[in-house]
Amino acid sequence: MPLLIIGLYFLIILIFLVFGATIVFHLLYYKINRQVAGIMSSIYIAGAAVLLILNFILFSQVNWEQIFWNFGL
């Protein structure tokens, strides 16, 4: 069961990365001001990286076997 949860987690992370890449692409491609687009893309990438790292740390601390054992699965 934990292997299934880990697989679903990485699928969600992959979807997040695809959406993030799409956002950065549109920030850079449809730019009004090149300098502002670069700064905003850098802020977005840094913020997304921090959120992904924190999410992974919190995800790894969850005891999935205990959670599913309590539900009787």
State the pTM of this model.
0.78
Token pair of 43, please? 């802020």
pLDDT classification of 72: cutoffs 50, 70, 90: low
Report the alpha-carbon distance of residue 26 to residue 17 in Å, rounded: 14
Q: pLDDT digit string (tens) for 26-66?
A: 988 887 788 888 899 999 999 999 999 999 999 999 888 88
